[in-house]
Structure 1
Amino acid sequence: MATLMTGWLIPMLVVTLSHCCAATGPLSPPSHPKCHIPCDEKVCSVIQCTWDPRPDPKIPIKYHLQWEPANSEDGHMTSGNSSDGFIHREHFSNHGELRVWVQAWNQHGSVKSQDVVFNTEYIIRPPPPTFSSSHQDHLEVHWSTICDELQLSVGACEVRYRTEEHQDWVWYEDKLCDTYAVSDPQPGTVYEFQVRCACGSSLKSNWSVIHRIRSAESAPVGEVDVWRDCSIHPSRYDCFLTWKNLSISQARGLILGYEVSVFYNNGTVQVVNASAVELSTLSVYDEMMWRLTSSLKDVSSVSVSAYNALGSTDATHLVLPTPGEEGNDQTIDLEMQEENLTVSWKSPSHSPDNLKQYVVQYKECPSGQGFDWIKVDSSQTTALFEGAFKKHTSYQVSLFAVSNNNEVHQLSTAIGYSVQGAPPRVLSFQVFSYTDTEAILFWEHFPCSGHKGMILYYQIGVNSQKVYNISVSPGHGNKTFKLQDLNPGQDYKVWIRAVTAAGPGDTFTKMFKTLRQKKIADLVPVFVVIGLLALLISLAFILLCVGQGESKVCPLMPQCIYEKVPDPSNSHIFKQMKHQINEPLSWICNSINEPNPKISLLEVVEMKSRAFEPDGLTSPFVKDECSRTNSQEDQREDPASEECDRTDHRCGRKEYSKMVDSDEEKVDCWSSSEEEQCTSGYEKHFMPSSLEILAD
């Protein structure tokens, strides 16, 4: 028990002693006081002193300002103390010395600062001077002080000035009294002035309020910084003319507007007045840059000049490149932070003689915001941008060359990030095609999208067994990769993810199955079935056409597969053989129906008959009529079809069923009856009778 109490009391004793020692230790003395007499208008009422208190955070300390006359002979001065650092007017005179110090104490003791001795005349701080007048032509300013009211002489004054364009002060302090003039001021430039003065040997006053004055105007000089803002999407060529405000040193006055001339490919010219006084729908202005609202499509070149009330600048010309003229031969290096961007490149090995300057531009991707550019001399290879660049945002940086003829050529493009982050999941990922041992993977990659960082490479994993690192080729969009040495008929799980300097992104997973390997023997039954089906379809088509005869069902089938009927005019077979060389599938016709066709030309012979010669004379009518009929039949394409289309009593005859040669069977061709003729079966069936000829 005693041991336990001892172990508890010892730490408490150590803590108590440490506090006591710290509390009884010596105080740190405050700094010596700094005093001056501030004057407000015509009154200088108090002495104000300040010091560094150096407080102790554990124990509160009290401070008092104390003073006494520096010489005991000054009996009219009394000593005293103050806790607020002020010595009031009744305790000092305008011409006397004081000894001043600061006393500090607490419950454990006291300490004082070093003494300060000063003459009250020398610590007077008059109020700042006031500007009384100024002159614009030679840029001169005047001011006044209250030293006379203080019964003091005017001491030395200091002047500083600057322009709105350059915010660094220019100092001048060479025994000035109440006036100052700027030598060789910039025309039409706003100057800002400040002045401070001393009264006699007193302290100098604070700086006066800023006084602004514009110098006299003159005609502007230099050239307008003209450029074009094009879309970052390669599928479009939308460009707009843009230019920056003329600098103050070049404007030399108030710029009233800009005159823009647009030259088109067809030879026409459009002049646009972009007024800085009146708003217009033809141009927009965002306090830094101007922009034409119309596209530069079909425009060959442009020129821009600025003007004020006294004149205008020389026109700045810019020749627009042809759409599609882009290069990436020059390598550029980017060093990008949130505050600045440094772009560097190497001079081309074959630099053209007419190279005028380089242009470096950047643009936020993919929105196209945050657009800016810098033009540098052809001898420089570095450009510096200052600004606020967003985190995890890609910026497209491009390098251009401008010739002495103001022609523009793009040299290179790169993507930069101020702060990189892990990329998101790829937009799309799929198995494009696959076989039994291979598969092609496809995904999308856009160099100017929300990747949050520069993609270094892609990782592709297969079944948690293999991981492939796929490098990124700059300037390419869609990506593919072939998986090889896969097993046939097997399920696979494949994933992909992008990797930046900040690490890998989320994965995208796909499932697929390779094809089962097939042998040639497995395909034989398939080929046999396909062949049989094709044969059956062909036979069915042929039988259908044969059953329908020569009709419109099978207009393209050869005529030999139809049921043949000899031509009543005895000319169809002749025509068929005459045009046999042009008949489709003629070899089928010869092999099926008529291997060796014989053609006989039938002739109508004049016959003596009382039916034809009523007066007993022989008439050539029959012969002439038959000759003419045969000639007409030869000129027809298909006389049998034409004859059957008409309503004719001869077409209603029965088909000839048996061919009888005239040499095998003789029939008496004449009978005693005039109404009846004795002819062979072929002639009776096909040849027209005499009555039919006369009827025709």
Structure 2
Amino acid sequence: MLRINLRCVLVVWVVILSESLSSAGRPAPPSRPDCFIPCNENCQVDIHCTWEPGLDPETPANYTLHWKSNHSERQHAFHGTSLYGLILRRHFSSHDNLHVWVQVKNQHGSVESGEATFNTAEIFKPPPPEVTWSVREPLEISWTSSCDQLQHSLGSCDVRHRTGAGQDWIQEGSFHGSFTFHSPRPCSVYEVQVRCACDSGLRSNWSGSLWKSSIGTAPVGELDVWRDCGISPQSSDCVLTWKELPASQACGLILGYAVRLSHLDSSVVFVNVSTAEHRGPLVCEEMKCYLNSSLKGVSSVSVSAYNAHGASGPSHLSVPVTVKGDKQKGFYLKMTEDNLTVSWNFSSVLSENLKEYVVQYKLTGSPLGQGLDWVRVSNSNTSAFLKGQFKRYKPYQVSLLTVSCSNLSSGSSPVQHLSSAIGFSHQGTPSRVPSFKVQSIAVSDVTLSWEPVPLLQQNGIILFYQIGVNRHNVYNVSSSLTSKQLRVHPGQEYEVWIRAVTAAGPGENTTVTFNTNPHEDYVYFGLVLPVVLSLVLVLVLVSLSCLCPGAKTTCPLMRQCFLKVPDPRNSHIFRKVKNQINDSSDWICVCEPHPKISLLEVVEIQSWAFKSSLKKTSNPEGSTRPADRDRSSQKDRTDEEREDTVTGDSQRTDNKYRAEAYSRIIDSDEEEEKGEKEEGVDCCSSSKELLETGYEKHFMPTAEEILEAV
């Protein structure tokens, strides 16, 4: 039993599914046919029928017009694919009642429309009447019908009117020959249409529209005044522009505009421009006008439109525009060929007295007064939508500005520029970079510079630049940069190219070739520089070795200069810096304030002369020095012990010590000169006198040491 029920359920589902599929594919039924006999100068003999398609008119289908009369059961048909069909005169009589319907058919099935029933003598349709404005009343129309020509009398007529495009029609009926607008709204433009019927038959189609303004008054509202400064918001070379008043506000023909210019020097200039002058300073096109003169030096303006009945209220504008810092972030735009959508988020930088936003776009490169449009947006909105015909591959600068509340003293509203951006309705590949050159070449790098692609030749937003080196390495460089430093190898030839890249792809390459410095520079510096440094180092080492205490062994050529070094304890200069010597590696330069420098004459003494001199002065024990030498040595040892024991008052000790020791160093040349004057004996004539002098006994070497050196 359960199996039978399941089978029945499956059969029912199959039937329902097939019917739903067949109904889903069937065409929708068309409207009831509208049939009439058209009459112009003479009425035609055939019946014209029209109908509307169903809900799916795009599905291909065939239409068939069916009809039959009361006197015959025979059906007639007219086949076709259009929404129009004919019933020929031979298929009906002059006073015949017809039943007409339409059948539509496609591959999924067919369906019929509702049936229309009429008498063939009552479906005459006269042509639309001719309507004119009456000369007697300002808002009265009259019309004439062609019913007389059709041998029929005029029936009633219908009138419909509205006060602006897009408004709903107001329809009134049963008028004969004329219609008057009672209590019309002032400063309104009325659009009127009329249709009529004869004493028998159908009503005609609606006549063409007529427009007329209501009772003449001065223009209402204010002009939308703005300024065109090109693509620079701070440019002083601007022109004044405004949008024409719509017909509902113009209240008739606008005869001209009154312009008041307030300059920075407090002077005021009035300009009256007429719309009748085609070559004057006023230029009007595409519902916008502008003055063909610069606003340089103008602080604020006001403009009024006037007609034969009066002028509108003045519209004020502050010409100088202040810039809100740098380019603000949070400004977005999307542009197509038909519209522009802009959005922003600047709530943190807005003032409290914000009146409204202004979104404007300017075709880059177009003259002042042309290629500009703008729209005003409420201060509570953060987006705007503009319609237009935006050219492909052409840059448009889109800007966002704010208008603050009016200044009570001048009546002008301060304008502030927030942000700008470049937009393209359609992007293409950019043009080639106009200039690409080598700025400088170093040993291991090269600096390249280029000129950016001009805005009018970019064909899109430049995302970045690509630099290729010898067809191997490609670098992406920011579009804001105009130079790039690359690493190179010496002594090679390079071929470098650059190109701009947009969303549509890269443009053409601009190529430059150059050679880097040869590798010999490295060899030259690598060989010469070490040699020079080595020579300098050798000279320094030689100098240091000659100045070292051990110069006797390290500098044999000059050891005679350092055979005997004066005892530094005998110089107060060395005692003053004694405490400063903490590190043996430190270099200390000690200079006496006014040293006495004498030129010593070196006299070569033969070895036999020293030997004979030594024989005369030697003691019995074979000593090489007299008794004074022993006393001098003993005195030196006493001085050393005395200096080591001094730990207290250094000043007192130094004074006493200088009195006992060699507080005044006597130059040997002075002693020799003194001896020559007193005794008239040469310094070399008596070796005993040379050896007995106190200074020489203490500092100069002995004869044995001199002989050893020789």
TM-score range (shorter-chain normalised) is 0.5 to 0.7
Select 2:169's aligned residue among 168, 171, 180.
171
Deviation at residue 234 of structure 1 after TM alignment? 8.8
- Any residues of structure 2 matched to 1:361-510 within 5 Å, and which? 361-368=360-367, 369-405=370-406, 406-445=413-452, 448-473=455-480, 479-484=482-487, 486-510=488-512
Number of residue-to-residue matches in the alignment: 468
- Output the CA distance in 1 between the equivalents of 2:182 and 2:168: 12
Determine the structure 1 residue equivalent to 2:351: 352
Q: Which amino acid aligns with 2:40?
A: D
Deviation at residue 506 of structure 1 after TM alignment? 0.9
Q: Which amino acid aligns with 1:403?
A: S
- Output the CA distance in 2 between the equivalents of 1:306 and 1:144: 39
Q: Which amino acid aligns with 1:171?
A: W
- Output the CA distance in 1 between the equivalents of 2:508 and 2:345: 37
Determine the structure 1 residue equivalent to 2:327: 328
CA contact (8 A) 1:160 1:170 kept: no
Q: Which amino acid aligns with 1:321?
A: P
Determine the structure 2 residue equivalent to 1:160: 160
Q: Which amino acid aligns with 1:167?
A: A
- Output the CA distance in 1 between the equivalents of 2:283 and 2:297: 21
- Output the CA distance in 2 between the equivalents of 1:303 and 1:345: 30
- Any residues of structure 2 matched to 1:594-605 within 5 Å, and which? none
Q: Deviations over 1:565-614 (max 9, x none)?
A: xxxxxxxxxxxxxxxxxxxxxxxxxxxxxxxxxxxxxxxxxxxxxxxxxx
Q: Deviations over 1:524-567 (max 9, x none)?
A: 999xxxxxxxxxxxxxxxxxxxxxxxxxxxxxxxxxxxxxxxxx
- Any residues of structure 2 matched to 1:541-690 within 5 Å, and which? none
Deviation at residue 258 of structure 1 after TM alignment? 0.8
Q: Which amino acid aligns with 2:499?
A: R
**Judging changes above 3 Å, is the alpha-carbon distance between structure 1 residues 65 and 344 closer, same or farther for their aligned structure 2 residues?**
closer
Q: Quick check: 1:254 aligned with 2:261?
A: no
- Any residues of structure 2 matched to 1:17-416 within 5 Å, and which? 35-40=35-40, 44=43, 46-50=45-49, 70-71=70-71, 85=86, 87-88=88-89, 92-93=93-94, 95-98=95-98, 118-131=118-131, 134=134, 139-143=139-143, 145=145, 157-162=157-162, 166-168=164-166, 170-178=168-176, 180-181=179-180, 185=184, 187-199=186-198, 202-232=201-231, 237-279=236-278, 281-321=280-320, 327-368=326-367, 369-405=370-406, 406-416=413-423
- Output the CA distance in 2 between the equivalents of 1:404 and 1:234: 20
**Judging changes above 3 Å, is the alpha-carbon distance between structure 1 residues 431 and 525 closer, same or farther for their aligned structure 2 residues?**
farther
Secondary structure of 1:424's aligned partner: coil
Deviation at residue 425 of structure 1 after TM alignment? 0.8
Q: Which amino acid aligns with 2:503?
A: A
Determine the structure 2 residue equivalent to 1:575: none
- Output the CA distance in 2 between the equivalents of 1:336 and 1:418: 5
Point out the structure with the larger helix share: 2
- Output the CA distance in 2 between the equivalents of 1:215 and 1:46: 44
**Judging changes above 3 Å, is the alpha-carbon distance between structure 1 residues 295 and 68 closer, same or farther for their aligned structure 2 residues?**
closer
- Output the CA distance in 1 between the equivalents of 2:91 and 2:444: 107
Q: Which amino acid aligns with 1:449?
A: L
TM-score (normalizing by structure 1): 0.59
Q: Which amino acid aligns with 1:490?
A: Q
CA contact (8 A) 2:448 2:484 kept: yes
Secondary structure of 1:46's aligned partner: coil
**Judging changes above 3 Å, is the alpha-carbon distance between structure 1 residues 188 and 135 closer, same or farther for their aligned structure 2 residues?**
farther
- Output the CA distance in 1 between the equivalents of 2:452 and 2:474: 19
- Output the CA distance in 2 between the equivalents of 1:318 and 1:101: 66
CA contact (8 A) 1:127 1:146 kept: yes
Deviation at residue 483 of structure 1 after TM alignment? 1.6
Secondary structure of 2:290's aligned partner: strand
**Judging changes above 3 Å, is the alpha-carbon distance between structure 1 residues 525 and 491 closer, same or farther for their aligned structure 2 residues?**
farther
CA contact (8 A) 1:46 1:86 kept: no
Deviation at residue 217 of structure 1 after TM alignment? 1.4
- Output the CA distance in 2 between the equivalents of 1:451 and 1:181: 61
Q: Which amino acid aligns with 1:348?
A: S
Q: Which amino acid aligns with 2:395?
A: S
- Output the CA distance in 1 between the equivalents of 2:179 and 2:313: 35
CA contact (8 A) 1:136 1:214 kept: no
- Output the CA distance in 1 between the equivalents of 2:486 and 2:182: 78
CA contact (8 A) 2:233 2:321 kept: no
- Output the CA distance in 2 between the equivalents of 1:67 and 1:227: 65
Deviation at residue 253 of structure 1 after TM alignment? 2.1
Query: Structure 1 stretches of 5 or more lacking a match?
Result: 1-29, 53-62, 104-111, 527-696
- Output the CA distance in 1 between the equivalents of 2:245 and 2:503: 41
Deviation at residue 459 of structure 1 after TM alignment? 1.1
**Judging changes above 3 Å, is the alpha-carbon distance between structure 1 residues 327 and 221 closer, same or farther for their aligned structure 2 residues?**
farther
TM-score (normalizing by structure 2): 0.58
- Output the CA distance in 2 between the equivalents of 1:323 and 1:353: 17
**Judging changes above 3 Å, is the alpha-carbon distance between structure 1 residues 468 and 160 closer, same or farther for their aligned structure 2 residues?**
farther
**Judging changes above 3 Å, is the alpha-carbon distance between structure 1 residues 523 and 247 closer, same or farther for their aligned structure 2 residues?**
farther
- Output the CA distance in 2 between the equivalents of 1:378 and 1:64: 60
CA contact (8 A) 1:361 1:373 kept: yes
Deviation at residue 447 of structure 1 after TM alignment? 6.3
Determine the structure 1 residue equivalent to 2:552: none
**Judging changes above 3 Å, is the alpha-carbon distance between structure 1 residues 327 and 263 closer, same or farther for their aligned structure 2 residues?**
farther
Deviation at residue 385 of structure 1 after TM alignment? 2.0
- Output the CA distance in 2 between the equivalents of 1:323 and 1:187: 41
CA contact (8 A) 2:433 2:453 kept: no
- Output the CA distance in 1 between the equivalents of 2:207 and 2:43: 18
CA contact (8 A) 2:322 2:415 kept: no
- Output the CA distance in 1 between the equivalents of 2:205 and 2:385: 38
CA contact (8 A) 1:329 1:411 kept: yes
RMSD (Å), alpha carbons: 4.3
CA contact (8 A) 2:322 2:416 kept: no
**Judging changes above 3 Å, is the alpha-carbon distance between structure 1 residues 161 and 284 closer, same or farther for their aligned structure 2 residues?**
same
Deviation at residue 325 of structure 1 after TM alignment? 7.5
Q: Deviations over 1:212-237 (max 9, x none)?
A: 33322101122111111113369964
Determine the structure 2 residue equivalent to 1:601: none
**Judging changes above 3 Å, is the alpha-carbon distance between structure 1 residues 384 and 64 closer, same or farther for their aligned structure 2 residues?**
closer
Deviation at residue 387 of structure 1 after TM alignment? 1.9
Q: Which amino acid aligns with 2:259?
A: V
CA contact (8 A) 1:122 1:202 kept: yes
CA contact (8 A) 2:37 2:46 kept: yes
Deviation at residue 257 of structure 1 after TM alignment? 0.7
- Output the CA distance in 1 between the equivalents of 2:442 and 2:271: 63
- Output the CA distance in 1 between the equivalents of 2:65 and 2:316: 73
Q: Which amino acid aligns with 1:483?
A: L
Query: Structure 2 stretches of 5 or more lacking a match?
Result: 1-29, 52-62, 80-84, 104-111, 407-412, 533-710
Deviation at residue 338 of structure 1 after TM alignment? 1.0
Deviation at residue 426 of structure 1 after TM alignment? 0.9
**Judging changes above 3 Å, is the alpha-carbon distance between structure 1 residues 222 and 489 closer, same or farther for their aligned structure 2 residues?**
same
Deviation at residue 351 of structure 1 after TM alignment? 2.0
Deviation at residue 410 of structure 1 after TM alignment? 1.0
